[in-house]
Amino acid sequence: MFMRLGGPRHREVGHGAQALGFAGPQGCNKALLVRATALPLLIVTMLGACSPAGGPYPSLQPRAAEAIDPRLQPVRPMNDRPATPALVGQLAALVEQARGGEAAFAPAAAEAERLASAAGAPQSESWMAAQESLSAAIAARRPTALALSDIDALGATALQTQSGIAPNDLKAIQSAAEEVASIDRRQADRIKAVQARLAH
């Protein structure tokens, strides 16, 4: 687009040129040059005023803290001490209790299984005898069930009083619980089988 030199805009520039001390057609051109040069300088000055004083422009790159995955938990020092001797002793006693309970349960369960296999109709004399034997087998499970409950209680108490369990203490508790739970499941399965036979 070209500007007509005789139009109102040129006259406005002419008046401005005279005010700045530029007279004549050449003065108008000089005034236009001054305006064209002053506008970019004004923009740069305004941008400079928005930037922080006395330092470089802030980086648009992610900060170090923003680069950390929030799903990752901070690494904590591992307590690698051996399992607590007192805890180990308690767990050993409870495992031994469960094994002793199994030794008493096995013959009682075997007798209940034998009588249930030979039992007649419900409420018959043989059926009643099998039910009594089953009750004895169920009672023989008590030491194992108590041992399993006490092992769980040891873990819960440690969590409440210590706000956590050391790794080797936890392994000891889990190992004891697994052995006793295995004994408990076997006993429960045998009881259920006898109950199923006597239900028919």
Model pLDDT, residue 61: 56
Number of domains in the chain: 2
How far is the C-alpha of 113 from the C-alpha of 102, rounded, in Å?
16
> Which structural domain range is residue 177 located in?
85-198
Give pLDDT, residue 34.
Answer: 44
Domain membership flag for residue 33: yes
Per-residue pLDDT at 116 exceeds 80 = yes
Exposure string for 40-49, b = 16+ CB within 10 A, e = fewer: eeeeeeeeee
Residue 186's φ and ψ, nearest 5 degrees, are: -60, -45
Predicted local confidence at residue 9, as pLDDT: 45
% of residues, the chain, pLDDT over 70: 60
16 and 98 co-located in one domain: no
pLDDT digits 0-9 by tens, 71-114: 545 455 556 788 899 999 999 999 999 999 999 999 999 999 99
| 15 and 105 in a common domain | no
On whether both 112 and 39 belong to a single domain, the answer is: no
Q: What is the mean pLDDT of the chain?
A: 75
Domain membership of residue 165 (yes or no) is yes
pTM of the model: 0.59
* pLDDT value of position 117: 95
Residue 102, domain member (yes or no): yes
